[in-house]
């Protein structure tokens, strides 16, 4: 788009209070449209804004003459009693004293019918310190008016008390709400992490096309609308194509601010939303929030093909069911995950018991059950003591090294309380995982020892899935209106099928919690094993010290008789003339053997210190070593009649001569 055709990006409501009727939504401003302050209400009811201090009328919808028989301009500045009478004004005073909650919507009273004016239900809430009164037809002519909604809701709540899983639970919820409202279609719409939605449960007329399983892009429910549903339980729109009426004046005369209509049942709808509904073929909608832990989890979306009034009692019944559904959602998810959690806990117990018995972490991958049973995955690997152990479908060791090096740089694994890394699209964040989508699209990792760089990693392959969209999510149609080009809601909702790759099935909270539990158990096992090794080393040290003492004493005690034998043999040689040649040779052999025995005792002392002393290397003649050995076994060789022949001289080698003689 060239500069000449670029739309003006200045917000059209920047020069005064915003009104849907007066201001358009351009391409540049649609995402910031102030939908909570539309300046207009739906024409099937009327609205008054009162000063809290004196209950005087500050603003009025321009259609009060139609519903109240009183002109809006003439009502400004008047006490509310001119509309509701003194008795009902006193009721308002009493209600405000009992319940002065900001935004808490309450039924106040019903104005009886009078000449030319139908009976009206009056609801009240407080917004920014202002009292907001909404007047709507009681619906006495409606066939649903006489239904006992209290009994219907009580029975429905009773049937929702024992959920057996999210899918089944949501199906029960939409069935109950459709039974109460009688609308054409009721859907449970769940938000994904990227805020696109999916219809996970549906109750409808038999002749309508099913929308169960369809996905809707996040832009269909923009951020500002999602934010409102975090504060609002129910949003009725009885006639999407119906007229809108403005407030008079648009801004509060006391503050100059626009009225925040977040909690107004009559709040006017954005043209983007009403066009969207028209394109879907919906004439009336009733939408309820489903929350979990304060966050918007999803929506209950009701649609009808013709305009339909939603009296206060119907809205109250549906709002209560939405609140019950939100409270029960955690139980529904818990029931779905309880069996899985119990299974994982039992597998963990077996793994740790076996590893404790075998004394190492190899048991986590070498037997059944293994790490693959500890978490639902296709492969698992554990790194400890400078090596990998793995089971199932995992990358090669060199690839594991690269992934591990990247993981150790991630701040998630540095957490003291939750050292766990989670990804269902690993290749999009980790360069080492590119090309490994069939093995490692999903990664769940935890570190159990930073000193040993110990890691446990589970892997999931990419899950090639087909997503059914309600229309092509990539098409953003433009139309030209009085204020220039603007986005138009999608016209086509024909099923658009998209194949998604590079992502694994997501890791659920139960699996992440189980990973942290197993990490703690492995860490305790490693610590216990380290303590055992420390005790063994201490015992070995004590044993070596005792062995040193023993060998010293033994060598000392044995050397004393050897010295005596050597001394007596020496004395015999001094009297050699009295000894013949044979006996002289024997005495010389005795002396040599005593010297050799003394050397052996020294070797015994050295042997007791093997591994704790350095070798004393020197050049040694193996012929001398062999000669000494033959002298040691000479007597036994003669008794056995053994003859040893040496075919050629032996070489000299560099060695420790004492150790060589021992060999």
Residue 11 pLDDT > 60: no
Q: Which range is most confident: 21-25, 376-380, 464-468?
A: 376-380
Mean pLDDT of the chain: 80
pLDDT value, residue 334: 72
- Of all residues in the chain, the percent with pLDDT exceeding 90 is 35
Instruction: Give 3's pLDDT tier (boundaries 50, 70, 90).
Output: very low
pLDDT value, residue 162: 59
CB under 8 Å to 486, separation ≥6 — which residues?
A: 7, 24, 25, 26, 27, 30, 478, 479, 480
- CA dist 472 and 216 (Å) reads 9
Q: Which range is most confident: 335-349, 387-401, 499-513, 548-562?
A: 387-401
Element containing residue 652 per DSSP (H, E): strand 652-655
Residue 589 pLDDT > 80: no
pLDDT value, residue 346: 76
pLDDT value, residue 17: 80
CB under 8 Å to 27, separation ≥6 — which residues?
A: 7, 478, 484, 485, 486, 487
| pLDDT tens column, 251-271 | 999 999 999 999 999 999 988
- CA dist 567 and 129 (Å) reads 118
pLDDT value, residue 37: 92
Residue 342 pLDDT > 80: no
Alpha carbon separation from 459 to 30, 106, 327, 422, 651 (Å, rounded): 42, 53, 34, 10, 59
Q: Are 67 and 59 in contact (CB under 8 A)?
A: no
Instruction: Give 488's pLDDT tier (boundaries 50, 70, 90).
Output: very low
Residue 556 pLDDT > 60: no
Alpha carbon separation from 234 to 43, 68, 508 (Å, rounded): 19, 26, 29
Lowest mean pLDDT among 157-171, 268-282, 585-599: 585-599
pLDDT value, residue 661: 66
pLDDT value, residue 134: 97
pLDDT value, residue 576: 62
Residue 444 pLDDT > 70: yes
Mean pLDDT of 616-638: 73
Mean pLDDT of 134-156: 73
Instruction: Give 2's pLDDT tier (boundaries 50, 70, 90).
Output: very low
Give the residue, 632 or 331, on which the prediction is more confident.
331
Give the residue, 523 or 116, on which the prediction is more confident.
116
Lowest mean pLDDT among 96-105, 109-118, 301-310, 503-512: 96-105
| pLDDT tens column, 285-307 | 999 999 988 899 999 999 999 99
pLDDT value, residue 240: 94
Lowest mean pLDDT among 565-574, 576-585, 631-640: 631-640
Nearest-10 Cα torsion for 31, 32, 34, 40: -50
Mean pLDDT of 526-533: 59
Q: Are 121 and 137 in contact (CB under 8 A)?
A: yes
DSSP 24-43: ---TTTGGG--TT--SEEET
Instruction: Give 485's pLDDT tier (boundaries 50, 70, 90).
Output: very low
What is 3-335's CATH superfamily?
GAF domain (3.30.450.40)
Residue 437 neighbours by CB distance under 10 Å:
20
- CA dist 317 and 335 (Å) reads 26
Ordered by start, the domain boundaries in the chain are 3-335, 532-662
Q: Is 515 exposed, middle or buried (0-12, 13-18, 19+ CB in 10 A)?
A: buried
Mean pLDDT of 609-620: 68
Give the residue, 76 or 559, on which the prediction is more confident.
76
pLDDT value, residue 235: 96
Give the residue, 485 or 199, on which the prediction is more confident.
199
- Of all residues in the chain, the percent with pLDDT exceeding 70 is 72
Long-range contacts of 389-398 (CB under 8 A, 24+ apart): 389/361, 389/362, 389/364, 389/365, 390/365, 391/365, 391/366, 392/459, 393/439, 393/459, 393/461, 394/439, 394/440, 394/457, 394/459, 395/436, 395/439, 395/440, 395/459
Mean pLDDT of 451-468: 76
3-state secondary structure 302-334: EEECCCCCCCHHHHHHHHHHHHHHHHHHHHHHH
């Amino acid at each position: 788009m060239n500069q000449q055709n670029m739309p003006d990006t200045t917000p059209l409501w920047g020069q005064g209070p915003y009104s849907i009727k007066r201001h358009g939504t351009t391409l540049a401003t649609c995402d910031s449209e102030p939908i909570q302050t539309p300046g207009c209400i739906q024409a099937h009811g009327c609205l008054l804004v009162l000063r809290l201090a004196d209950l005087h009328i500050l603003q009025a919808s321009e259609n009060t003459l139609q519903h109240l028989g009183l002109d809006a301009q003439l009502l400004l500045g008047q006490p509310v009693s001119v509309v509701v009478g003194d008795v009902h004004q006193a009721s308002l005073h009493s209600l405000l004293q009992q319940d002065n909650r900001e935004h808490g919507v309450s039924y106040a009273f019903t104005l009886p019918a009078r000449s030319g004016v139908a009976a009206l239900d009056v609801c009240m809430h407080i917004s920014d310190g202002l009292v907001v009164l909404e007047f709507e037809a009681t619906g006495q002519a409606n066939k649903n008016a006489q239904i006992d909604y209290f009994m219907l809701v009580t029975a429905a709540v009773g049937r929702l008390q024992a959920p057996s899983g999210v899918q089944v639970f949501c199906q029960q919820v939409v069935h109950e709400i459709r039974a109460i409202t009688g609308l054409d279609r009721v859907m449970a719409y769940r938000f994904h992490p990227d805020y696109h939605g999916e219809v996970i449960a549906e109750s409808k007329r038999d002749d309508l096309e099913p929308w169960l399983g369809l996905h809707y892009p996040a832009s269909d429910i923009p951020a500002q609308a999602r934010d409102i549903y975090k504060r609002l339980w129910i949003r009725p729109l009885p006639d999407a194509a119906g007229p809108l009426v403005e407030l008079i004046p648009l801004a509060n005369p006391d503050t100059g601010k626009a009225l925040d209509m977040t909690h107004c049942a009559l709040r006017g709808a954005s043209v983007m939303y009403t066009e969207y509904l028209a394109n879907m073929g919906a004439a009336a909608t009733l939408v309820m929030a489903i929350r979990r832990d304060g966050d918007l989890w999803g929506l209950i979306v009701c649609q009808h093909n013709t305009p339909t009034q939603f009296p206060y009692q119907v809205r109250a019944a549906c709002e209560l069911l939405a609140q019950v559904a939100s409270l029960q959602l955690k139980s529904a998810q818990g029931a779905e995950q309880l069996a899985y959690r119990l299974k994982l806990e039992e597998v963990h117990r077996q793994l740790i018991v076996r590893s404790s018995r075998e004394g190492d972490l190899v048991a986590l991958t070498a037997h059944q059950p293994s790490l693959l049973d500890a978490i639902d995955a296709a492969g698992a690997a554990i790194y400890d003591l400078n090596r990998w152990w793995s089971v199932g479908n995992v990358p090669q060791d060199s690839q594991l090294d690269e992934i591990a090096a990247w993981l150790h740089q991630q701040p998630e694994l540095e957490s003291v309380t939750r050292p766990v890394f989670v990804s269902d699209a690993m290749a999009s964040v980790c360069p080492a995982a590119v090309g490994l989508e069939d093995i490692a699209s999903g990664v769940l990792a935890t570190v159990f020892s930073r000193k040993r760089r110990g890691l446990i990693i589970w892997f999931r392959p990419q899950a090639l899935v087909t997503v059914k969209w309600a229309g092509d999510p990539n098409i953003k149609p433009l139309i030209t209106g009085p204020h220039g080009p603007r986005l138009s809601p999608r016209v086509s909702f024909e099923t658009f099928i998209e194949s998604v790759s590079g992502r694994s099935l997501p890791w659920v909270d139960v699996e992440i919690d189980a990973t942290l539990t197993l990490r703690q158990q492995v860490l305790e096992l490693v610590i216990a094993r380290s303590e055992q090794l420390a005790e063994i080393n201490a015992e070995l040290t004590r044993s070596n010290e005792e062995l040193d003492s023993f060998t010293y004493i033994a060598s000392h005690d044995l050397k004393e008789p050897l010295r005596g034998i050597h001394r007596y043999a020496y004395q015999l040689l001094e009297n050699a003339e009295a000894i013949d040649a044979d006996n002289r040779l024997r005495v010389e052999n005795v002396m040599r053997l005593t010297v050799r025995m003394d050397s052996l005792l020294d070797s015994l002392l050295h042997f007791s210190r093997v591994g704790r002393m350095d070798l004393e290397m020197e050049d040694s003649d193996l012929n001398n070593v062999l000669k000494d050995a033959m002298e040691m076994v000479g007597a036994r060789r003669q008794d056995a009649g053994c003859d040893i022949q040496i075919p050629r001289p032996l070489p000299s080698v560099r060695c420790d001569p004492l150790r060589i003689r021992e060999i």
